[in-house]
Amino acid sequence: MFQPDAFIEALYLVLNWNTLMWLTIGVFVGVGLGAIPGLTTSTGVALMLPLTFTLDITGALGLVIGLYKGALFGGSISAISFATPGAPDSAATVFDGYRMTQKGQGRKALLTSLYSSVTADSLSDVLVILIAPMMALAALQFGPAERTWLMVVAIALLGALSGKHVAKGLFAAAIGLYIGTIGSDPMGGASRNTFGLAWLRDGISLVPLIIGLFAMSRMLEQAVELIHESRLGHKVERKMNDLFSNKEDTLTFREYLSNWREMSIGLGVGSFVGMLPGLGATVASFLAYGIAKRLLPHKRLGTGVMGGVAAAESGNNATAGPTLVPLLAFGIPGSATAALIGGALLLQGITPSPRMFELHADVIYALFTILILANLFNLVIGRGFAFFYAKLGGLPKPVLVPTIMVLAVIGSFATQGNPYDVGVMLFFGFVGFFMRRFGIPEAPLIITFLIAPMLEESMRRAVLISGGDWLGGLLNSPLSLILMGLAVLVLVLSYRMRFSERLEAMAHEQDSQGAADDDATR
């Protein structure tokens, strides 16, 4: 399976100034985006997608993966500095991180966050490098029927785990399935579902769809909120001085090592959760924090200790690599960010699938190398500039929101130079605004939009092979039956077990316990 020539080619592609420069820019911008409350990883990657069009494959991957990893760590900076997580992924970090800042240990909290993030991220990347090729090898044995059911399982998981309400997650997935059929028939090429508009014959373009859903919709939402607010933002008590104080203790190597149990829990939980479609970094960080708190009662997590920061941060960062496993092994993105990285690959003319390991082994090795290198860059940039980024969290939203709206307009046009793309972006910006208001998650939409043509092709091939016999075509092997059963089981269990509600309740429990601890301390 290992191809030395391709690996050497990948090293040659990655270890040059161009790729390293884009990787540096990606991490640098990513940490900054992560540190600014209201800007999520998806927003950042969505805005950068048009730029990847002008880069070579490794430069594009360096930019996007660097940005992703940087933003994951960056979210903890504002969580620790002033109790406002840059993104939901870092919400669990507030419990101990902000209390450490209040106790005058902000610098230690930030360094704990950085080191545990990088440690868990690096180890989970190694796991990806070991697991993804094996899974891809297995996936290559799948026929069209198995591939169809695998995609159905992924959609069921996405619907079940993406939001608080199963039906809403599945509804978002159904929208993606529908708009994925706009354009032309993937097998015959006949025009369909275009509403008589000639410019829709090529289908909905990925970049304006992504920018609309992940950037414009959020900016519309924030702009509407700002218009309603009587004053500029709400004032958050900030104890920034501690972070910049030279008097404060830094983190010793012994202290870093003392968190090994919390980091291991975060690594295990994050890696597992990352590989499952639909869950994501927020769930991983709350789960890792909750498990560490229960398993290690003597550490008194929630009272402003390093262990809490380490568990939450290693949990969310350990999802970064594994979230790419379903994308690389099966061609099915497991999260919104994986879908965006898949989008970047598609823009470069590479379709993510298990065959990528055969057809583009150099790109796969380059991706693995970039995953590892991004952690080193994250460490260096995070260590050097974390205290500068803490100030970025205070950037006024009235400046930020219109700037991102301008970038969204230019970015959606830039990819193809198509004026209609701006209209598509604005339309989906409005759709995304509605979805967010109604509590409908956007991630299942974008993921099913990406896999819709593959799903259609696999299903039609399976039926075609069996001479038009649906049952014989789609349920032609024990694996097909198992996968179909799994999809049904996921849907039934998700309705009966109220998994998302439990996770939310757990987050509230941590929050209220933390508040109680605060009251007790006072």
Partner 1 sequence: MQRKPSRRAPAGWWRTNQALGLGIAIAVAVLFAYLWQQDWYHREQRDGFILGFFPGLGLAAMLVTALALTLDRWRHTVVEEIATLDWRDLLWAVVLSAAALSLYALMEPLGMLLPIALFLALMMLLLGLRPWYLAAGLAAAIALIILAVFTLLGIRLPGAFLPLLI
Segment near partner 1 (CB under 8 A), from 74-82, 133-141, 297-305, 452-460? 452-460
- The answer to whether 52 and 348 have CB atoms below 8 angstroms apart is yes
Phi then psi for residue 186, to 5 deg, are: -65, -20
Report the site for partner 1 in 233-252 (rule: CB under 8 A): 234
Measured from the Cβ of residue 250, the count of other Cβ atoms closer than 10 Å reads 9
Among 464, 482, 497, 516, binds partner 1 (CB under 8 A): 464
Token digits of residue 512 = 């209220």
Could you say whether residue 399 binds partner 1 (CB under 8 A)? yes
In the complex with partner 1, which residue's Cβ is closer, 63 or 390?
A: 63
In the complex with partner 1, which residue's Cβ is closer, 62 or 304?
A: 62
CA dist 135 and 103 (Å) reads: 47
- The answer to whether 347 and 53 have CB atoms below 8 angstroms apart is yes
Among 104, 143, 423, 472, binds partner 1 (CB under 8 A): 423
Please calculate the CA angle 42-168-202 and round it to the nearest 5 degrees. Answer: 60
CB of 489 to partner 1, least distance (A): 17
Segment near partner 1 (CB under 8 A), from 8-16, 68-76, 110-118, 405-413? 405-413
- The answer to whether 318 and 274 have CB atoms below 8 angstroms apart is yes
What is the DSSP secondary structure assignment for residue 298, as one 8-state letter? Answer: G
CB of 194 to partner 1, least distance (A): 9
CA dist 65 and 215 (Å) reads: 18
Measured from the Cβ of residue 452, the count of other Cβ atoms closer than 10 Å reads 22
CA dist 23 and 64 (Å) reads: 8
Among 102, 181, 258, 513, binds partner 1 (CB under 8 A): 181
Among 15, 134, 138, 192, binds partner 1 (CB under 8 A): 192
Among 413, 443, 487, 510, binds partner 1 (CB under 8 A): 413
Could you say whether residue 466 binds partner 1 (CB under 8 A)? no
Report the site for partner 1 in 30-89 (rule: CB under 8 A): 50-51, 54
In the complex with partner 1, which residue's Cβ is closer, 35 or 401?
A: 401
Segment near partner 1 (CB under 8 A), from 117-125, 183-191, 320-328, 387-395? 183-191
Q: Is 184 helix (H, G, I), strand (E, B) or coil?
A: strand
Report the site for partner 1 in 264-323 (rule: CB under 8 A): none
Among 108, 218, 360, 397, binds partner 1 (CB under 8 A): 397
Among 346, 372, 414, 493, binds partner 1 (CB under 8 A): 414
CB of 188 to partner 1, least distance (A): 5
Segment near partner 1 (CB under 8 A), from 77-85, 269-277, 342-350, 459-467? 459-467
Report the site for partner 1 in 206-235 (rule: CB under 8 A): 216, 220, 223-232, 234
Among 7, 131, 137, 178, binds partner 1 (CB under 8 A): 178
Report the site for partner 1 in 316-375 (rule: CB under 8 A): none
Amino acid at 389: Y
CA dist 115 and 107 (Å) reads: 12
CB of 185 to partner 1, least distance (A): 6
Helices 260-275, 106-139: inter-axial angle, 10-degree rounding: 40
Q: Please list the alpha-helical segments (H only) found in 83-143.
A: 91-102, 106-139
In the complex with partner 1, which residue's Cβ is closer, 396 or 485?
A: 396
Nearest alpha carbon to residue 440 among 190, 127, 72, 176: 176
Could you say whether residue 401 binds partner 1 (CB under 8 A)? yes
In the complex with partner 1, which residue's Cβ is closer, 232 or 359?
A: 232
Q: Please list the alpha-helical segments (H only) found in 296-360.
A: 306-317, 325-330, 336-347, 356-359
CB of 326 to partner 1, least distance (A): 21
Could you say whether residue 179 binds partner 1 (CB under 8 A)? yes
In the complex with partner 1, which residue's Cβ is closer, 82 or 433?
A: 433
Can you list the pairs that 486-490 forms with residues at least 24 positions away whose Cβ atoms lie under 8 Å?
486/153, 486/156, 487/149, 487/152, 487/153, 487/155, 487/156, 488/156, 490/153, 490/156, 490/157, 490/160
- The answer to whether 89 and 120 have CB atoms below 8 angstroms apart is no
**Tokens 């009235």 identify what position?**
398
Among 3, 18, 102, 193, binds partner 1 (CB under 8 A): 193
Helices 361-392, 17-35: inter-axial angle, 10-degree rounding: 40
In the complex with partner 1, which residue's Cβ is closer, 168 or 293?
A: 168
Segment near partner 1 (CB under 8 A), from 167-175, 275-283, 357-365, 502-510? 167-175
CB of 252 to partner 1, least distance (A): 41
